Structure 1
Amino acid sequence: MAKSDREIVEILEAFDLTRCAHSAALLVGVDEKTVARYVAIRDEGGDPLARPRRPRVTDPFKDKIEDLVERSQGRIRADVVHQRLLAMGFTGNERSTRRAVAAAKDGFRAGNRRSYRPWVPEPGMWLQFDWGAGPMVDGRRTSLFCAWLSWSRFRVVLPVWDQTLPTLVACLDATLRRIGGAPTYVLTDNAKTVTVEHVAGVAIRHPEIVAAGRHYGCKVETCEPFDPESKGGVEATVKIAKADLVPTSANLAPAYESFAQLADACFEWCERVNGRVHRETRAVPADRLAEERRHLHVLPAQPHAVALGEERLVNDDQTVSFGSVRYSTPPGHVGTKVWCRVAGDELVVVGRTPSGLAEIARHRLSTPGNPSILDAHYPNHPGGNLPRPPRPRPRTSEETEFLDLGEGAHRWLIEAGAAGATKVRSKMRKAVELAAALDPRQVDHALGLAAIAGRFGDGDLVSILDHLATAGAPTDVVFVDETHSVQPGTSPWERFGS
């Protein structure tokens, strides 16, 4: 019967005290041979507490199992090994084989395990970025450009419509201008916009991204294929950003009504995560960024515009001309230069914003003679090409007194002008006199009702005021119909005398 760890320690302690196996056996109450066995194991350098290994049914096939595991680089399945052993005369069950294969795989991994050297980033050295799937906006899928500075842990997340090379360059420009400088290296994944192909394991860079890196003073580096360890930091940024910004059943975030709302949400998220203490550095990323800026390179004044498209000047009417077609732009860009490029069947307009380059407008491609004008770009103008409703602008004291009565007076004047009413000025003076004698709010209310009903006669305003004073607020507005007569007809006399 195997002894417990405590019993083995007592046996060894008794032998060290007496230096005699017979005496030690009498002290602890065991056989003399048991004492001699544990003492011999200890003297030979073994572990007296280790349990002796019993022979296993897989021992005769141990070399073959290890050979199969090594040839398969630790990927072979235990059931496959069991079938091989059965053909060799193995009589054990599959459970024994699984235990032997698991032990062989543990030994293989122990001798072939990849060793990691802790990566200690330096200030101003590394900027990592990657793409993440964004939320749906207006039925279209968006993407999230996620970047972070490795030393300060400062994060930047920008929403975009696509992941094309011009969009990537614009996002890099906006990121570098937000952090206030350019690092030495920019690390990313092997996307086609960065790595064209691999030749003998060597990444062939896209010439445009190399030119963009040279413009900003950075060297673009890519991760090893299928090696998430080399870009784990930015992968964590993408994961955290998607968890907070993409509406799911887990965060119960509402859907975004516009792309601008998504951009504001990304900016607020960056402000929040960059203003709290980082778990690893125990410091605020925004504070560490202020220190890291001293190690960043100075950015060029002009962005890298080669991949952004053709340069255009925004006219006074907030439009740019591309392909003999006018396209509208948002307010705030008149007189500035923007860049236009074609992405599929759309025209993308990129402009300079306080935070760097950003997409400011996107239009469906049009043909000459059919300008693309979005009403959202002109918030202070009525949309469409219909006649604009007149806006009363008083020029005399009488006009000012009348229009000061309220919204009903404005509506009455507009409708009276459209209906061709006569003696408008005298009726306006009459309304001002009534307002001086009565409640101005009641007069303004009566003017509004008169405008709705189309009653612009001489006594219509007084009649409406009398009705309001006696009958209260009207429920149904009676419109004037000059073709209808309330005089009774002569049809009842047709049967007279019959």
Structure 2
Amino acid sequence: MARRRFEMHHYRQALLRMRQGDSDREIATARVMGRPKAAQWRQIAADRGWLDPAQPLPEDEAIAEALGAPRRASSTISTLEQHREQIGHWIEQGVSGTAIHAALKRQGGWSGSYSAVRRLVADIRRQLPPEVTCRLEFEPGEAAQVDFGAGPMLVHPDGQPRRAWAFVMTLCASRHQYVEFVWDQTVATWLGCHRRAFEWFAGTPRRVIIDNAKCAITRACAQEPTVQRAYAECAEGYGFKIDPCPPHDPQKKGIVEAGVKYVKGNFLPLRNFRDLADLNAQARTWVMTEAGMRCHGTTRRTPLALFELEQPLLQALPAQAPDLGTWHRVSVHRDCHVQFDRILYSTPFTLVGKTLWLRATDSVVALFEDYRHVATHPRGRNPGQRVSVREHLPPEAQAFFGRDRAWCAEQAERIGPACAALIEQLLSDHILERLRAAQGVLALLKPYGRTRLEAACARAMAHGSAHYRTVKTILATGADQRTDLPAATPPGYGRTRFTRPATELFADLTPNPQQDLLH
């Protein structure tokens, strides 16, 4: 009994037996305390008159004062006592004992053992105020906690091995989980996982407790964090409140932290997965058949049994699922387009050089100048694709792109058949692209009119010169307005003695079948 620790009730019980007349041997036989300890305690009680049965029993404070402060097990002074203050600072910073031992040997030339460091560290930690915590309790349907955890390495669709990430949402009251493995932790993935989790639970909790991931919180702060704009829209659409944990305090969402560890320790080991789809299929089966049917260590109930009670208390899903989109800041380039996800989208040319807000969903991309809607495009699918609206271009560019081959042919038909034939010949050139020449010919309609342009085209076609310059020269010189007469033959070129038609000149060369037979 030399190493026995005596509590206050031991001293009170021994004192009560002494007042009843028990000897030290009888007290030791009853295993209250040993004979030497009983003799010592009898002397202290006698000095203070506590052995008189007529007097009331002393209070615990009086007994503690009479016993005095407990003696320390050892009065040995540590060889590191001079370094106590420095070691205390290192302990506050979270430095381990082995690192402290190495630093003392490296910096101070100390040659003692690690055991001395360990004893001093333990003594310093005993004198520090203890860490106090309390368990958070949640009502059914009140809150859910969300976190990401590292998953297995799988082959990505691009053919390269990549790590998958486990998205886990746990209802705080029932401990029922939603588990989904994804390739990244982007805002779009974060929002999509929330939608599928709420559909899995067939309801929405009133509060979602998260950490400070960039996909949810843009600026972490214990008092006033800044929420990602897209996540705020998601919370508004589903009707839940976002409750981010203070920075560096993950214990505020300890339920889902334990849930992530449970997934990593009980689901992932000793399993094989073909791809991400197979991994998620196995995870859903595991949640419903194993994780949901276990006896939870805290609630002592199965999560699925408690979920049957919690599910009716969740908020109902909206009749129409919110249109979840991600927000991005983009700049308008000089070609009147912005770039998002390696795809270009057009904007009005008056916004060139400005910074806009782009909201992207799975199907559309919308552009906003502050809160003013600017344009909406169907979302492109192929990198390098240009999604453009002609009305967004400058007027001169709209005019150029609007005057294509079909437009030129249509305008030429309205002017006349000669113009249509000339334009068709220009556009049918197999070597040179002559669209600008055709546009130039049609541009002459404005200064010269339809009649003159048709006449000029007819004259150019008659001379076999279907060129823009020919038509322009004819109009500039007024040749289209002249009436052409047959050219007069000069008198000197009248009929002469030796002129005869070509038929007479080559008459002797006409083959004669009869002469061929004679020869």
| Bigger relative contact order, structure 1 or 2 (CA pairs below 8 A, ≥6 apart) | 1
Structure label with greater radius of gyration: 2
TM-score, with length taken from structure 1: 0.49
